[in-house]
Structure 1
């Protein structure tokens, strides 16, 4: 039986690693790469199969990038598409018996959130220089304290929102599977379908919030 919250750890070079999370993360990456290969191995003018699915996702995300970050954010499209696909597969992986979502581990969600925030500030300094730093002191210098607290809160809220929703979904599925008799699968199937929906929604929310944060760094003042 899979135990939520109980993880096999290994020690290496003085560090502790969650072995299950590492394995599930590599499986997730392998699935995303496999989908990319299936979608691009036989490209056609009229897309079919995996090409059709992936192209629909890419076109939709490109539209969101243009609407959120403007033309300056188009170079981030590969990152945004990869992030969404990783989150989507990762969130759904835990719905398979004996497997766990990498995103039900706070280490994963916090790592992704910190990656986004580091990119925000790095791109902001690179693309806007002193103007990016100056916006933390607006409308008055005293607001730098509030803005600093907000920046600290961003990765925390990003990480805990995704982690909490995915963990709760997996816990409830396990409870339903244990409580429901084998001849009463309907409640479990309904919750499974709902969890698939929630996994997609959480991937969408995390990606959209990431784009909104990145927009502060890359969007030009004329577009803003």
Structure 2
């Protein structure tokens, strides 16, 4: 697919796969493919959740229901560990949504890299990125929502005065107020930035490895060398795919846990003021 839209070289192939289907330019650019796949996966979560709710069985639950209940219990335990069993009602559903949604978006990276773009090309769509978390806008947008919730709970629990005191007197006390303001501001802003960049960096790197493996037989013709490179490509693809399953799951878990921790810190710190 890439060779039909570019000159067929390695650089062109990678650039093509890193280009979003978008409208607008600059700050007003919208990556349509990111929005489409994000909303489709979000809709899938809602659909499955609705079906599970309609078919709940308390006496003889099926395997899928048991698996779902296991995930729910796992997330609930993570929240209780951070909040001491006194978490607001929003936290557990938010953590569960983040875990599943981020995992599904990451899972798109396990689909053969040229499959969906090739189908889209056949329908006249020349550019398409199918992994929302490899678009920096997605992780940073999610991290920004977490940051806004953190500020909200800080203000709700500490009050405006208590929140301002955190900037004035943390971490070095009342004699270093200018330093405290700078340090605390950097600390607070670093949370959403690191949260988003960690997810983006790992997923972008994983997608890039799949591209590099695909380059082994890019534009190859039927020859003796193909008999060597193609089996090697299959082995490398399979090995990286198996390892990447761990990566996508770990990144979804880390994003969820850090969200819980950051929101929990707003409540824990309140006890010390």
| 1:95 corresponds to 2:110 | yes
| Structure 2 partner of 1:40 | 53
After superposition, what is the alpha-carbon deviation per residue over 1:101-143, rounded to whole angstroms, capped at 9, x for unaligned?
A: 1110110010001100110011110122132332232241332
Conserved? CA contact 1:68–1:211, under 8 Å: yes
1:1-224 equivalences under 5 Å are 1=1, 3-11=16-24, 15-45=28-58, 46-75=60-89, 76-97=91-112, 98=116, 100-129=130-159, 130-136=161-167, 137-138=169-170, 139-140=172-173, 141=177, 142-179=179-216, 181-184=229-232, 185-219=234-268
> What are structure 1's unaligned runs of at least 5 residues?
none
TM-score normalised per structure 1: 0.89
2:68 and 2:74 map into 1 onto residues whose CA distance is 10
After superposition, what is the alpha-carbon deviation per residue over 1:132-161, rounded to whole angstroms, capped at 9, x for unaligned?
A: 332232241332210111111111111111
Alpha-carbon distance, 1:221 to partner: 5.2
Matched positions, count: 223
1:222 and 1:71, CA in 2 relative to 1: closer, same or farther beyond 3 A? Answer: farther
Identify which range, 118-127 or 65-74, moves more after superposition: 65-74
2:267 and 2:109 map into 1 onto residues whose CA distance is 34
2:262 and 2:134 map into 1 onto residues whose CA distance is 23
2:215 and 2:66 map into 1 onto residues whose CA distance is 38
RMSD: 2.4
Alpha-carbon distance, 1:222 to partner: 5.7
1:222 and 1:47 map into 2 onto residues whose CA distance is 42
Alpha-carbon distance, 1:95 to partner: 1.8
Q: Post-superposition, which runs of at least 4 consecutive aligned residues in structure 1 deviate over 6 A?
A: none
Alpha-carbon distance, 1:26 to partner: 1.4
1:79 and 1:174, CA in 2 relative to 1: closer, same or farther beyond 3 A? Answer: same
Conserved? CA contact 1:84–1:203, under 8 Å: yes
Alpha-carbon distance, 1:202 to partner: 0.4
After superposition, what is the alpha-carbon deviation per residue over 1:23-67, rounded to whole angstroms, capped at 9, x for unaligned?
A: 111122122223323433311224323222221111001000000
2:187 and 2:92 map into 1 onto residues whose CA distance is 26
TM-score normalised per structure 2: 0.74
Largest Rg, 1 or 2: 2
2:214 and 2:261 map into 1 onto residues whose CA distance is 38
